[in-house]
Each structure stands twice: as structure tokens, then as C-alpha cells.
Structure 1
Amino acid sequence: MPGRPSEPSDAVLPFSSQVDDPVEYTVRHGLKPPIFRVYVAWSRGNLLHVACLRERATPGAGEDDGSRRGEDQPGGVVVEVQLQGETRGASTEAQQRRVAYGSVPAFALLQGRKNALIAASRMRFSSSIAEGWQHIMDFSSQIADLLEKRKPSESVIEDPKLVVEPIGNDTTLRAAWGIVEIFYAESKAWVPEKLVDWLADYDGLLSTTEPTVHSKLVSLQRKLVDLQVIENDADYWEGIASALAVGWLDIVVKLLRLHGSYQPDQLDDRETENGLVETVALLVSSMPRLRPDLPSGKLGQCYRNRSDFVKAWEKWRGQVSKLDYSAFWTQCSHNQTREGLRNLLRIMLGQLSCLNELTYHWIELYVAHFLFIQPFTMGLEEMYSLAQKCIQMKPAVSYSGLCGILLGVLGDNTEVVLAECANKFGSWMAVHAIELLSHGNKESETMLREERYNLGGISIEELHRLIYAQLLASHSFTWQIAPTYLASCPKQGLGLLENLLSALPVQHYRVFLKALELCRLYELETISLNMMKIAGVYHWKHGRKGFGIFWLQQARDELRLSKIAQQLFDCIGKSISDDSFKQWEGLIELLGGQVGSAGGLDFLHRYRDFKKSLHRVQEETSSSVARESVQTLVQLIKNPSTPQRFWLPLLHDSVKLLNWRERPLLTTSETHLLLQKLQELSIARMRPDFCDSGLSPEAINAVHLALSTNLGRSILEDY
């Protein structure tokens, strides 16, 4: 149940109960023992405030001044402790929650736009296909921005030996989304170049047990610090060739510029050698690329038009071939440089043996084909066939989820893509990738949104949304966003949403208010009323009477309000003293007079007005005010909702009015009415169920005397 993540049996989906090893922190407080007490409180960010207190003993008579000076220390100190040793699991959970919350606006916006397009098509408005594509592209870019790694501010001074950057632990999800985005949310014309960019970012994720170009460059980067003559190292030239094979031109040029021939203090004449290195670097940096633009810092010449690209490609390959057959190679005396540079030329000329030798994973060889052998866009069937050939040439021991998604996309198998997303990257990936998989492909859309009997009449799309929503609902930090996904499920979503909101604990006030807001948002009035009834009863039973009455009124629960009114009436009826009435007066005011006469609230409201008028009489001593109080008294006595046990207390409170000095306030008929009520009380005393008012005999005699005196005065005034 939401709000109780510590009980796996109550969760909609089970979660891991594995407890990580505790992290120890050293608190350097500088106090001499013993420490009497320690207080710990959260501060800003990931800081803790730890207060350490000493017990200050009273100095004894035998202690000298020196010992007292030794103990002259502060009574305590407050130390800040920074929590830096977060476990990997906690960091991963926090990252997952950030992604879950960040993707809700994009998902909700896309659903709203899709519903608007469907409504427009039903109303015979023109719904452009391009508009739908734009919505999908906007959604994909928002998710990509959410998953994008926040890079730290770049240093002003660039490290010349920094070749590749480390890959974070939270990069795999971004890599998976990148593959889906390339093939389903972007133009098919730039797919090969997009794969080159994708591999440059995520090559290190392809395998953890087998080498990759990225891992080779990381190893080379560690060696660069200690290498004195870098061009003599075989790993240096192998790293350059591997980077060129996968299209990392900026890294290739950067490594070439580290060549020793660029150093000014050379003992030998290395001008020819340096010229060859620089020529190869210029050829690499001017390599034609069939793409609209390049990211900042990347090298190459961009061509948007295929015919222009073909001309530039043939011209560039001609320059590479011309350099390969140049006579300057015989003048280069450094063997490693000569062989290394000529190997780079063979790669640029597209020799398959070199590409196969200098790549380590089949995706790297696959990308190398697009760069140097077949740089033109092909269909999915040809791309899938090429991928199978690369797999045969570069078989892998195991395939990661990224490889599975890529093969599923190339094979045009939506089920495989969705299965890999769900199994390897979780429900979040499956739910949001479906939005891309189902757009623009009728077969995929039918497969994902067709109602299936074996799934209980729901579609695969709705099934994955329900699974993800239940996963969110099982955690106290994410249940608030589960309704967004449940509301998008037309078959079973609203039913599960009602169950989710009904199961929320009403004792947590913020959770309760959030649940009411969700009920209002999704027009679940019945659930909202039931929750307010439950909250009202809960607060009433736990002593928060006013709070309970408020929520029962909001729920329009007349039955329970009437029962509460009856309880108030019974409590006040036991003793109608001023103290007992003041205790319940606020609740009576809160209940109002619309509950009905079933609970006697009509009498209690009239009695409240009568007590207010008595106070006014004591303050103003005006005959008109006193007359109004008397009229209120008569109405109370005549009202059938006023029980008999209240008659004597009411008359006793009105003795001052009955003995008004200026003139009698009661007429003869009104006085006879009150005397008749006293006679009825005398007869009612004979019944066994009579409830005595508790007044003393002197008070009762005072009431009789006041009524008799008022009767005589009123008769005389009438004559």
C-alpha cells in the first residue's frame, strides 16, 4: 500500500528488502569523555548536525585550581557531518525517481495532444500526419533531455592527454533510449551517422568482459602520462587506428598531434615525418560526412545532398589514394610512424581486413562499414543483413540489452524491441518506448493496441502501463504519479485508480489532501466522498471532533452528522450548566442547523441564542432586550423539540427576567403557559423514567415564586 514501503506483503509489486551495509562516519568533536548525550538532526543538503554534550560535574572541595582548569571545557559542541558515502543502490533509486517524475509532464502532454488529434479527426477537422510526427519528436526530445547527463563545467585549460571521458553508471538507460529514438523518432536519412554519434557516447557499455575501442583508449590514456617517446609505442598507433575505424575523428587528430615530430627540440631532421603526420591529420579532419550538421568539437565536412556528398567522397578518396602512393614514405625514417600512418590510409580506403582487425565488437565493425565501405543509407533489410554478417565476423560471448534492442529494430520486430526494453531496462523504458514504436507503423500500432482475450481484454500497451503504474503505486515516494498512467488505460485504469486512492491512509493529512486533489482532477466524486467520510469518522474517534465534523459535512453524510448531533444532545442534556454548554458550543456552531431535528440541534441552537440574550440583558439592562429574551424563553418552552428535563433549568436561568422591576415581561397567557409546564413536570415526576434536572428545592421554589409574582403583576397591569 502506498505510504508503507516497509511492508512488502502489502505492496502492489514486491520490492527488494536487501539491506546495505551501514556506512560509518567519524565525528571529531574534541571533547573529553564522558559524553553525556548526543543529538542528531538534518541540516541542509546531505549534512547532519551532531550535538555532543558533556555532563558538567560540580567541583569537589578537595579539587585544586589546576584540576579545575584542566576541566574548563565547553559544555558541548555542534559538528557538521557530510554524508558522502552513499550506497550505489540508494543513488540508483534516487536517479530512477528523478527520471520517473521528470517524464510525467512529457507523457501527459503527449496523451493530451493525441486525444486532441483524435477528437479533431472525429469532428472532420484536418489532422495532419506531420503534426503527429512533431508531437512524437517533441516527446522524444523531452525524454532525451531528461536522461541527458549533466556535464560539469569545462575547465578553461584543456588537458592535451585527455582522450576519452569515463562513462557513468546511469548511462545505460540513455543509451537504450538513444537507439529507439534514432530509428523511430528521427529522419531515416541520417541513421548511419546517428549510429556513429551513438557509438561515440556509449561504446563502453557494449561489453564489460570483452574489449572495446573505448576500453582500449582508456588504457592508452593511462599510458600517455608515462610515455616519453609516444610514437614508439604500438598501443598508440593501434588506439589511433581503432578510433578512426569507428569515426572518432577528433580523437584521431588529437592523438596525432601528440606525435613527437611536433616537438620543437628535435635532434634529427623530422620535417618529412611531421609533414606526413599533419597531412594525414588534415585528411582525417576533412572527411566528408553525409549529415546535416556536426556537434561542437567534432570534425568532418557535412553534406546534406547525396550528389554533393558523392563528389566530395570521390575527391577525398582520390587524395587518400594519392598520398598512399606518394614517394614521401621512402623518406620517412621512423618505421612505426610510417606503418601507423599507412594503416590509417588503408582504413580510410575501406579495406575490410583492417577494419575487422581494429574493431572488437560487432557494432563497431557495423559502424565502420557505414563510414568507409558503404556510406549511403540503406533499408532495414539490408542493414539487418549487414548486422548478421558483422556478428558472424565478430561473435560475442553474451549480448547486452543494447544489442538486443538494436537487432530487434533492424529486424523490424517490435515484440523483440519491447521485450528487451522491459526485461533489461524496466517498465519505465517499455511504457515510454511504446509511444515511439506505435507511431507511423500500422502493424506495430495494431499489435500494441489490439485488445487481447488472453490479457483480460486489454492491449499490450495498456498492460505495460498498468504494470508500471502499479510499480509506482507500491512506493511511498512515487504513488502520486501513478494516476497519470492509470488514467491513460481505458479498460482497467480507472478501476485500479479508484482502488489506489481508496487504500490511501487518511491519517496522513498531506497524503489525504493529495488524494482529494487527484479525485477532483479525474472526476472521482464517489471516491472523494467516501474518503472524506472515512476521514471524518477517524478524526472524530481520535478526539479531533471539529475536524471530524468538517469532513463529514464536506462528504454530506447526513446520517453520521445526525448521530453526532444526538450524541451532543445527550451529553449536554445530562447537565445543561454553562460550563458543559461552553464545552460543546463550538461543535454545535460547526454542525449548523441544517442537520435536522433528529439530533435535537434545533433546541441547542435556540438555547445558544437564549444564553446570548441573557448576557445582553446583564450588559445593557434594557427592557426591550429583556422582552426579547423572554420571548426566546417562551419559544423554547413551547417548542416540542425541547425535552422536559430542560424546562426547570431554563426557568431558573430566567428568574431575573420574571422579577423584572420596571414591568412584568410576561403576559397573563404566557405566565399561565409556564405554570402549566410546571404542573406537567410535577405529574411527570411520578414516572419511573423521569430525569431530574438536579436543581435544589430552594431553586425550584424561587421559580414558583417568580412565576406567581409575575402572574399577579401581569393581571394588575391588564386592568
Structure 2
Amino acid sequence: MNIGPNVFSSASRTTLEKNVKTFVLPDKCFENRVACTWRCGNKFTIYPRSQTVSKTPVDTTGDRIVNICQDILLFTPILRKLVNESNGTYLSLQKAAETAKTSDNQVEFLKLSRQYRSIIRVCIESLQEAAAKESDGIEKNSLMSYITIFYSIECIWHLCEILYVDSIPGDIVLPFLLEWIRFHFPCHEQVAAQVLEACEQGSEDHPQYWDTVIGMIVQGRVDVARALLKLHSLADINEFKLVDNALRTMPVYSVYGGISTGEFTITWKHWQAECRSKLSGRSLASQPKLELIMRLIIGEYSAFESIRDNYVSWFDLLGGWVLYTAPWTRRRELGAAAAACAALRSAQPPAARRLLDHLVRALLDGDLHQVIHEIQQISDNGWFATHLTDILYQCGKLKIFDKHQTNVTARLRDSLVLEYGCLLMEHKSLWSVGLSYLATCPPEGLRRAELMLERVPVHTNAKALRVIAEAKKYGLSGVVQSVCRAAGARRLAAGRAGAALGWALRGRCGRLCARAADAALRGYCGYSGYSGGRPLPARDLLLSAGPELLRADRLLFLGKYCDFHRLYKNREFKKAAKLLVSLITSKIAPEYFWETLLLDTLPLLESEEAVFSSSDTFEIMLCLELRSKELTGEKADLLRLALARNLARTCLEDVEDE
């Protein structure tokens, strides 16, 4: 089945036709017409659709429903640590950005950028360990592809950090550029270490000796190159001494060296003129490798061309080209150096390196718009694009304008963060991480968070409480009520009125409070199959509810009735009697509960000491007569007798008091 661009406009059709994805469905899974519908997130369902409407039942046992979803790299178990740890750094960056509005916080931004890179390096190490232990070929290839992806991410992030996050003294970028190349492209470093460790004269017999020496020269590791040259069996002849002296006397610029850029430029050009004169004197003609080294250190373009095929990418030579042509180069001048190195003749780079080449070139040219466009093509599901764009935006280094020259930087950053947050919200355990991203893009982020949080599956009390806690953290009261309402309704349907009442009070849902209180009262009085006299549910909760009882009349009645039980249990009979009379006279008791309410007066009427006054007794008598349908037979007669006795007793006490 072809999922093509037929739903898009003709303007975008040409671009999308190049990326049409073909899904091969199971054999004969659909005999009828096929329909497709989107589900939540990046999922859609393909299902059969009948061609005709028939009253006769049709056998559809051969039809199937096919669910198709995007393969999310970040949901791989081994990459969960990357998602969780980077979330902490992201939130710290948002706090640092708030303080940066009132003070310079560049050092903190650099620290957080390095934290991001550290997290990526740990992720790469974990992937390497997992790949080393994996025996399945397919899984091993997947892990190796992940390593390639995150190696490229860390490489680009490091270069961005140098060019846009770090505050470089004097803006002289060469030392940091050389450090970047040595760290990510350590050509011949292992061989150099082995040769130097052996420290044997005649080391040129090693098959990679000269490649290693030239590699050290290109990477600016002049001291290592000199040490390797001294291990050559002819190190004492004049040609070697001449090259060693040229390398030893090479000027090195430092911002803190005490000389200006102009003075250093004069010294540098004088040194290169001396090297050029020695080279033109043909004194190194008998040693072509040494001659090549001299041609490299004077910045001869053809010399760099001759060694280009020894390296995978043009930027392996970038540091050496800048070092030997213009070591005082500033960040804004790196584009010209990149163009010169990229123009070196070479074979077509492998596909895996082409994207990295484009990214490095765009970074050195200062085209951050193109950089963000390119990193969105990396199949890491937006992690890199989101976090790099955010840190560049917070540092104030990102300026993106649309065709109308309107600054859309904030919109671009927010759109990436929102998309990444929504992606994480789809995962069963990473949804809270996604929520923290959405919350940093108000007001759109909070609106999305509310919609997506309501769709998080809640199957346990613990999950429901966690969703509620997260919703309260971000002020999403609608989600709190929705979750509590759903949880309370499920408990109520299962006959657990007390649990339902707890959820109703937690969510402050008046209707659910009334329904749960009604169910609790019915259960207590033996209505609809319940056994009468059972304990009231959620008594502790009701006794501490306070003003929440006012959310529904039925809940208020239940709370007061529960308080009556507490007083009676504590043998505070007069207070209990007073509360019971107020419940009887308030007329908020449900019809089915009047029998229970009237019968509760019997034990108090028969107590040794009169707890009902004559006026209270008259109120109960009046209610008994008005509610004669609710209480009949022997129970009514017993209550009338008890009321008459209590009335006689209270009348005598009143006479004695007079």
C-alpha cells in the first residue's frame, strides 16, 4: 500500500514524492475497500470499509485491522537515561535563562552545554557496551547505527559550543578548533602513542610512521611530530635538523602573550618566509617526506591536496589549514577556511558522512538556520534539534527571520519544544518528562498538556495520584477534576462508595460527591441489597473534610451524620442528641433515610439521663407524624412510647426546676 502525498497541496507534492513510504500489508488481509484514520500521536489505523450497506450480516472474519506507528528511537530502553538526564539539564537551563535577563550568565550556559555533551558521551558508551555484548546481527547493526547518530550529534554540539556558547578571549578560535578536531578525529593517535612508547631508533620501519608524523603536523601537534622525527634513523642529518628547527621556532599566538595581533602577524610571516626560502633552496630534495612537511607548514594548497585522500572528510584538514595559513583567524572568518578545505579534491564521501559535512560547513559559515534544518533530518526524533535550538536561543545567539524579515526565533524554538514534548507524552512512562517541556512554552504548551494529560491511561491508584500531582504542579485544575471524576465513577460502579467519595473530595466534584454520598447512605440503611447497620464509609475523611462538605447537600448530611456517630461513640450524648435533632429539622435527609434517622433517637430517648428537651421531643414527634409512611408498625409504636416517656420525664424536670 502506498501512503503518498495526495492529501497535500501541489506546491509540496514534488518534495514529498521523493519520500513516499510504502507499507507491505499482510497477504490478502483486506478483501474490501481500505480506509485509514489517524489515532493519537504518530499512529494511524488501516481498516476495511464495506462498499455497500446491507441488512444481512456479512462475514468479516478474513478482514484485519492494521496499526501503523512511527519507530521512536528515544523509546528504546537503552536511551531512556538520555531522555531523563537531559530533561534535568533542560530545566536548569530555563532557570539560568531567567536569571540571565538581569545578569550575565554565560558561564552557566557553558556549564550546561558541557553537561549536555557529557550526557551524550555516556549514552554513546552505553551503546558501545551493549553492542559489544550483543550476538544478534540485526540488533547489533541497530546499536551501531545509534552510535553513529549520537557520535555525530556530540561532534556538532561541541563545535556549536565553541562557536556560539563559549566566550573565547580575543575571538581567536584556532586553539579550540584544534582541540575539537583532535577529540573527534584522532587520526594516527594510537600509532603515535605506540611508537613513542617503544622509543626505538629506526621507527620509520613502522608502516604508518610517515602518515602518523604528517597527521600530527596537520592536527597542530608539533611537539609529538618532532618527537617522532627524532626516532628516525637519520634524525642527525642536516635535513632533519632543518625541519626540526623550523617546527621548534614556529610562532604560537596567545591572547595573553603580551603582543598584538599585528605584531604576531609580522613575526609569523617572517618565519614562513624563512621556511619558504629553505624549501626553494632545494635543501630537502633528497627527503620528499620532509619536503612535504615544509610545504604543509608554509600553507601550500597543493601540499594539502596531495594528502587529502588519506582522510575521510575535509574538516580533518581544517585545523592544519587554519594553523599554517592564518592562525589569528576569528570565528566569523572560518567560512573562507572551510570553503578552501571543502574544495580539496576527493572522492565522494560515504552517505553517513555527507550530513555531518553539510552541518560542519553550515556551522562554520554561521548559517544557523541551515544548521537547524539539517539536524532535523537526523533520525533521533527531535532530541538534538530541540535542545540545541533551545540553548542557542537562551544564549541569544539564534536569530531566524522569515521572508517578511520578521524575527521568528522564539516561534521556532517553541514549535520544536512543543513537538518534542508531545512525542514524550505518548510514552507510558516518559509522559511526565514531556509535560515538563510543554510547561515551558505557555500558553500553547499548557493547553496541549491539558489535552494530552487527560488521555494518559490511568489504571491504578498510584498512576492516578501521579497524574493529579503533575497536573496540580502546572495548575491544570481541569485535568485534576477529570481524573478524579473518572476514578470516582469507576469505584462507584464497583460498589466502593467510600473510595468514590475520596476521589470526589480530592477532585472537588460536586455531582460526584452527591452521588457517592447517596450511595454511602443507601448502603448504610440497607437499601438495594445492602445489609443495614454496616459502618459508614470514609469516616475519617468525612470528619476532616471541613468546608468541602458544602459542595453538596447530600454530602453535608452524610458528614454531619458521621459526626453524630462520633459523638455517640464518645458518649457525648447531649451533643449527639442536639446534632440529631438539627438533622431531623433541617429537612435535607433523603426520603429513604428517614426511618434510620428516626430510629437513631431511640437509644438516646432510653438513656438514664434525659438528653432531649421537651421542645426537642415535640420536634421528633411532629416529624414522626409527618413521616408516618417511612416508619410504621412496631418500630413506630416503640418510638412513640419512648417519646412519651421522655416528654413526661422532661416535663417533671422542668416543674422541679421552677
TM over 0.5: yes
Q: 3-state DSSP class of the match of 2:208? A: helix
Shift of 1:240: 0.8
Structure 1 or 2, whichever has the larger Rg, is 1
- Matched residue, 1:496: 448
- Matched residue, 2:599: 649
2:222 to 246, 249, 261: 249
Take 1:598 and 1:520, find their aligned partners in 2: how far apart are those partners? Answer: 23
CA contact (8 A) 1:565 1:599 kept: no
Shift of 1:590: 5.6
Higher mean C-alpha displacement, 559-568 vs 482-491: 482-491
Take 2:419 and 2:434, find their aligned partners in 1: how far apart are those partners? Answer: 10
- Matched residue, 1:421: 375
Q: 3-state DSSP class of the match of 1:574? A: coil
- Matched residue, 1:309: 264
Measured against aligned partners, the alpha-carbon deviations of 1:387-437 in whole angstroms (never above 9, x if no partner) come to: 444333323413522211222234443332221121137423323333566
Take 2:568 and 2:105, find their aligned partners in 1: how far apart are those partners? Answer: 75
CA contact (8 A) 1:593 1:605 kept: no
User: Where do 1:428-467 residues align within 5 Å?
Assistant: 428-435=383-390, 444=400, 450=406, 459-467=411-419
1:481 aligns with 2:459: no
User: Where do 1:17-28 residues align within 5 Å?
Assistant: none
Measured against aligned partners, the alpha-carbon deviations of 1:107-145 in whole angstroms (never above 9, x if no partner) come to: 31354246x36xxxxxxxxxx8xx486776565455445
Q: 3-state DSSP class of the match of 2:173? A: helix
Aligned length: 557
1:284 to 232, 238, 247: 247
**Whose relative contact order is higher, 1 or 2, with alpha carbons under 8 Å and at least 6 apart?**
1
- Matched residue, 2:41: 12
- Matched residue, 1:101: 87
Take 1:248 and 1:647, find their aligned partners in 2: how far apart are those partners? Answer: 95
Counterpart AA for 2:361:
L
CA contact (8 A) 1:365 1:390 kept: yes
Take 1:613 and 1:384, find their aligned partners in 2: how far apart are those partners? Answer: 85
- Matched residue, 1:240: 213
CA contact (8 A) 1:532 1:551 kept: yes
Measured against aligned partners, the alpha-carbon deviations of 1:595-633 in whole angstroms (never above 9, x if no partner) come to: 35965556555655555555566xxxxxxx766666666
Measured against aligned partners, the alpha-carbon deviations of 1:285-331 in whole angstroms (never above 9, x if no partner) come to: 553233448xxxxxxxx77731342354246446656876999989x
- Matched residue, 1:53: none
Report the TM-score, using the length of structure 2 for normalisation. 0.68
| Sequence identity percentage | 19
Report the TM-score, using the length of structure 1 for normalisation. 0.63
Q: 3-state DSSP class of the match of 2:525? A: helix
Q: 3-state DSSP class of the match of 1:550? A: helix
Q: 3-state DSSP class of the match of 1:288? A: coil
Shift of 1:199: 1.7
Shift of 1:470: 2.3
Counterpart AA for 1:406:
V
Q: 3-state DSSP class of the match of 1:171? A: helix
Instruction: Structure 1: state its 5+ residue gaps.
Output: 1-7, 20-87, 118-127, 153-166, 205-213, 262-269, 294-301, 618-624, 685-689
Take 1:386 and 1:626, find their aligned partners in 2: how far apart are those partners? Answer: 95
1:392 to 331, 335, 343: 343
- Matched residue, 1:62: none
User: Where do 1:683-694 residues align within 5 Å?
Assistant: 684=628, 690-691=629-630
Take 1:665 and 1:463, find their aligned partners in 2: how far apart are those partners? Answer: 71
Take 1:255 and 1:289, find their aligned partners in 2: how far apart are those partners? Answer: 20
CA contact (8 A) 2:526 2:532 kept: no
Instruction: Structure 2: state its 5+ residue gaps.
Output: 1-36, 44-68, 126-145
2:236 to 241, 250, 272: 272
Take 2:551 and 2:420, find their aligned partners in 1: how far apart are those partners? Answer: 51
Take 2:236 and 2:365, find their aligned partners in 1: how far apart are those partners? Answer: 50
Take 1:522 and 1:535, find their aligned partners in 2: how far apart are those partners? Answer: 21
- Matched residue, 1:557: 509
- Matched residue, 1:372: 324
1:189 to 148, 171, 186: 171
CA contact (8 A) 1:450 1:460 kept: no
Take 1:665 and 1:386, find their aligned partners in 2: how far apart are those partners? Answer: 100
Shift of 1:463: 2.6
Measured against aligned partners, the alpha-carbon deviations of 1:223-250 in whole angstroms (never above 9, x if no partner) come to: 9999995223453123212321232334
Take 1:584 and 1:271, find their aligned partners in 2: how far apart are those partners? Answer: 93
CA contact (8 A) 1:224 1:230 kept: no
CA contact (8 A) 2:156 2:359 kept: yes
Counterpart AA for 1:556:
R
Take 1:443 and 1:711, find their aligned partners in 2: how far apart are those partners? Answer: 89
Counterpart AA for 1:12:
G
CA contact (8 A) 2:216 2:224 kept: yes
Take 2:181 and 2:375, find their aligned partners in 1: how far apart are those partners? Answer: 19
Counterpart AA for 1:646:
T
Higher mean C-alpha displacement, 419-428 vs 634-643: 634-643
Shift of 1:104: 1.0
CA contact (8 A) 1:472 1:481 kept: yes
Shift of 1:197: 2.3
Counterpart AA for 1:424:
I
Report the RMSD for the aligned CA atoms in angstroms.
4.9
Shift of 1:253: 3.6
